[in-house]
Structure 1
Amino acid sequence: MSGEHRYVVAVRGGDASRGFQLGGTTTRSARVALVRLRGQALRIADGLDPDPGTWWLGNGGLVRLPDAPEALPDAPAELRAWVVSSVHQDDALDQLVNGFPLVLRVTDRWSGCWFELTARSLVPVPAAPPFRRTAPARPVAYA
């Protein structure tokens, strides 16, 4: 990989009416881009669903919400699962190294807000050669 190869990492969030840039950076490797995305995924997950013992909450800082139906998305759980899954991380790395963008988008079940983590190469994906139709093969006569 040449020194000129770079990746853009971006984190966005929003609701049904608008979106906001929450952060972004450029890196020199796909692996570092994934490290940055994992850090941002945990930051968002911890902000949406902090540990009750978190020092900055103080006593009574959290209120237990009723359990939501399983059909509703659980953004913090989805983000944490993505971070710890070696299968997801390997797939994401392969995708980036091969020049394809990575997009992870989750929706918070309580607020309806969405969060999107993206990484992409600044080097465009090489175009596939055009498909050429060839004449059908002639049948071979066996004697």
Structure 2
Amino acid sequence: MRGQAERVARALDPGPDTPWLSPACLRPVRAEGAPDPGSVIREWARAEAERENALRVLREGWSYTVAARDETTHYRLTAWPLVLPPAGGLRVYRRTHAAA
């Protein structure tokens, strides 16, 4: 989830050293009070305490969501806990092909 958060943040708010963009394409925009979803998601991805909180929530069986928005769009990254069979013997699953 952290990797996805970094990827989304880079897409929403690329830095001036982004290799696939010409520096002339970018300019800083800081409107007072304007939402900045790229920064919100990037800050979450870099906050160790929040990631620990996410792991705790997932261990308890709940989903965990990071959300941000701007004037027109809502962005959401969600993780759900996996339900695994009890530990024990190895289970092997094979795909079979139906005869034509």
TM-score (structure 1 length as normaliser): 0.53
Q: 1:64 to 1:73 in 2, by over 3 A?
A: closer
If each structure's strand is expressed as a fraction of its own residues, which one has the higher value? Answer: 1
Aligned-pair identity in percent equals: 35
Which of these two proteins has the greater Rg computed from alpha carbons?
Answer: 1
Q: Secondary structure at the match of 1:121?
A: coil
RMSD: 1.5
Name the count of aligned residue pairs: 83
Answer 1 or 2: higher relative contact order, Cα 8 Å, separation at least 6.
1
Q: 1:59 to 1:82 in 2, by over 3 A?
A: closer
If each structure's helix is expressed as a fraction of its own residues, which one has the higher value? Answer: 2
TM-score (structure 2 length as normaliser): 0.73
Runs of at least 4 residues of structure 1 off by over 4 A?
A: none
Q: Among 10, 22, 39, which residue is 2:3 paired with?
A: 39
Residue segments in structure 2 that go unaligned for 5+ positions in a row? 84-100
| Cα distance in structure 2, aligned partners of 1:48 and 1:97 | 30
Question: Given the alignment of the two structures, is residue 118 of structure 1 paired with residue 82 of structure 2, yes or no?
Answer: no
Q: Among 41, 51, 65, which residue is 1:79 paired with?
A: 41
Residue segments in structure 1 that go unaligned for 5+ positions in a row? 1-36, 124-143
Give the superposition deviation at 1:56. Answer: 0.7
